């Protein structure tokens, strides 16, 4: 009887093209575009080259998501990279992914976004000097705690909040673009004369500039987490990806042109919060509006990160790769509170030592490491299993190109300018194997874990959630 019932519970395919585009666009346009321009420019050295980097990031992301679109139509399960790696490279690598994702990548993302939120909240009060670091971190921590509480208490509220923030960020970008266009027409184009001089051409500066740029594009693979809800995925997945990412790339380029029109490259690099500096120059005494809009945008993407974070935990705990407690939901409120609390605690730990740039660099490093593995999985499926039904195909050259780019992105900072931190991150990713063998393969010390789970279940009032996938 139960089996019949669970069959009927599969999600309805309700997300159309417009929904898909706004899902991708909404998660991509986050805090990045208000924080990364100065770091991209700083790493690469010249305005012209920084625009080239932004365009290339967009192109790379479009190609990568085409490859993901094929994966999404061959392996039709929600769960993104985790499921793809599980089905192509096996459980050990998939566990490494989930281990570093839950313990580091997602919390680092949350910490990075909350830091940019905090920068924008305090920026109007410190117009002449950079704000004190401690204050920024306290504001960031407060933001994380507030959002975690909201998401633990009520899902609906956090979704309705999302739409409001989406409007705020699109308006902010529109204001920046129109303002920049007006200034350009008035003839402010000093930044674009000899725009390629002082370019740093080296492996490391290009790699780091890409890390900072790609941080702003993060979220391009979100549609793959909900493949099962898309109408006609073989048509709509590639279409949505192309439309959404082209739009976002266009927006980002226009915004960067606008920043550079209003500010000299040096001013842009020294600013701790670009949109505020821009606002003070263009809107004068109304400059604080930009700060509010940027803060709202960051807050919105922080909320989105929390909201989607529970999903991967669910899938992993179902496969037995995560403690069961993380896949439980609150009895009455039906929110995945244990997973949220866990992410919150680790985000706060990452926040204490980290500064924005290094958090972003390690985040991108880890993310692209796993994108490379996912893409090699796609190559494996293309070569070894050509008979699988594929409603949507990409030419084999695409995954090869993106794979080369991903490998370059992972190796670039290490080869050119080896920092000890990258070694730590790599060791951390590999330490997943050491945990996998005793605890998951051989299931050691289950007794202790069972007791702990029961205690936490009673304490947090949670029960195992039936995930209707």
Domain ranges of the chain: 17-464
**Residue 76 neighbours by CB distance under 10 Å:** 14
CA distances from 350 to 13, 217, 229, 308, 469 (A): 38, 22, 34, 20, 32
pLDDT on residue 5: 39
- The rounded radius of gyration (Å) of the Cα atoms in the chain is 22
Residue whose pair of structure tokens reads 């930009």 in the numeric block: 290
CA distances from 99 to 108, 362, 428, 430, 431 (A): 13, 15, 9, 10, 9
Q: Please, which residues bridge with residue 330 across strands?
A: 462
**Residue 364 neighbours by CB distance under 10 Å:** 25
Determine which helix (DSSP H) or strand (DSSP E) holds 277, and give its type and residue range.
helix 274-282
pLDDT on residue 307: 65
**Which long-range contacts does 76-79 make (Cβ < 8 Å, 24+ apart)?**
76/227, 76/228, 76/233, 77/227, 77/228, 77/469, 78/225, 78/226, 78/227, 78/228, 78/229, 78/311, 78/315, 78/469, 79/225, 79/311, 79/312, 79/315
Q: What is the dihedral of CA 141, 139, 360, 354, to 10 degrees?
A: -70
- Residues 6 or more apart from 101 whose CB is under 8 A from it? 82, 312, 370
Question: pLDDT tens digits for the chain (469 residues)?
Answer: 344 433 334 455 667 787 778 778 777 877 778 878 888 888 888 888 888 999 999 999 989 988 888 888 888 776 778 888 888 888 888 888 888 887 888 888 888 888 888 888 887 787 667 778 888 898 899 888 888 887 777 666 666 666 777 777 788 888 888 888 888 888 777 767 767 777 777 777 888 888 888 888 888 877 777 666 677 777 888 888 888 889 889 989 999 888 888 888 888 887 777 877 888 888 877 778 888 888 888 887 787 777 666 667 767 777 777 776 776 777 666 666 777 787 888 888 888 887 777 888 888 888 888 899 999 999 998 888 888 888 778 888 989 999 999 998 888 777 777 777 778 888 888 888 888 777 766 666 666 667 777 777 677 776 666 554 4
Q: What is the dihedral of CA 386, 86, 101, 315, to 10 degrees?
A: 110
Q: Does domain 17-464 have CATH number 1.10.1740.10?
A: no
Determine the Cα angle at 325 with ends 224 and 3, to 5°.
65
């Amino acid at each position: 009887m139960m089996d019949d019932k669970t069959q009927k519970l599969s999600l309805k395919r309700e997300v159309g093209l417009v929904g898909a585009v706004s899902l991708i666009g909404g998660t991509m346009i986050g805090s990045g575009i208000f924080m990364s321009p100065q770091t991209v420019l700083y790493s690469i050295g010249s305005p012209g080259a920084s625009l080239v980097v932004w365009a290339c990031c967009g192109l790379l992301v479009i190609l990568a998501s085409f490859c993901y679109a094929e994966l999404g139509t061959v392996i039709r399960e929600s769960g993104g990279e985790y499921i793809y790696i599980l089905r192509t490279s096996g459980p050990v690598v998939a566990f490494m992914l989930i281990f570093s994702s839950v313990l580091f990548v997602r919390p680092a993302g949350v910490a990075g976004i909350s830091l940019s939120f905090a920068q924008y909240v305090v920026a109007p009060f410190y117009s002449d000097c950079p704000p004190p670091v401690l204050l920024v971190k306290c504001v960031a921590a407060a933001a994380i705690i507030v959002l975690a509480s909201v998401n633990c208490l009520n899902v609906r509220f956090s979704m309705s909040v999302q739409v409001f923030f989406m409007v705020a960020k699109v308006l902010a970008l529109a204001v920046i673009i129109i303002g920049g266009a007006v200034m350009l027409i008035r003839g402010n184009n000093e930044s674009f004369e000899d725009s390629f001089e002082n370019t740093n051409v080296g492996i490391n500066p290009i790699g780091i500039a890409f890390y900072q740029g790609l941080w702003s594009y993060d979220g391009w693979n979100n549609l793959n987490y909900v493949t099962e809800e898309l109408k006609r995925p073989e048509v709509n997945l590639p279409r949505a990806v192309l439309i959404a990412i082209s739009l976002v790339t266009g927006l980002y380029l226009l915004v960067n042109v606008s920043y550079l029109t209003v500010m000299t490259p040096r001013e842009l690099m020294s600013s701790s919060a670009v949109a505020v500096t821009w606002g003070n120059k263009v809107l004068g005494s109304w400059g604080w509006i930009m700060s509010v809009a940027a803060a709202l945008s960051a807050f919105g993407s922080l909320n989105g990160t929390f909201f989607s974070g529970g999903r991967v935990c669910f899938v992993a705990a179902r496969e037995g790769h995560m403690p069961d407690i993380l896949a439980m939901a609150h009895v009455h409120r039906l929110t995945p509170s244990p997973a949220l609390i866990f992410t919150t605690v680790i985000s706060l730990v990452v926040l204490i030592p980290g500064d924005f740039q290094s958090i972003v660099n390690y985040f991108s490093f880890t993310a692209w490491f796993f994108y490379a593995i996912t893409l090699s999985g796609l190559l494996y499926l293309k070569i070894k299993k050509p008979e699988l039904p594929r409603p949507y195909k990409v030419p084999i050259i695409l995954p090869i190109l993106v794979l080369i780019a991903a490998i370059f992105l992972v190796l670039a900072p290490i080869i050119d300018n080896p920092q000890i931190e990258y070694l730590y991150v790599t060791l951390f990713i590999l330490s997943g194997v050491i945990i996998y063998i005793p605890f998951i393969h051989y299931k050691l010390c289950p007794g202790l874990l069972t007791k702990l789970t029961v205690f936490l279940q009673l304490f947090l009032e949670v029960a195992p959630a039936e995930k209707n996938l």
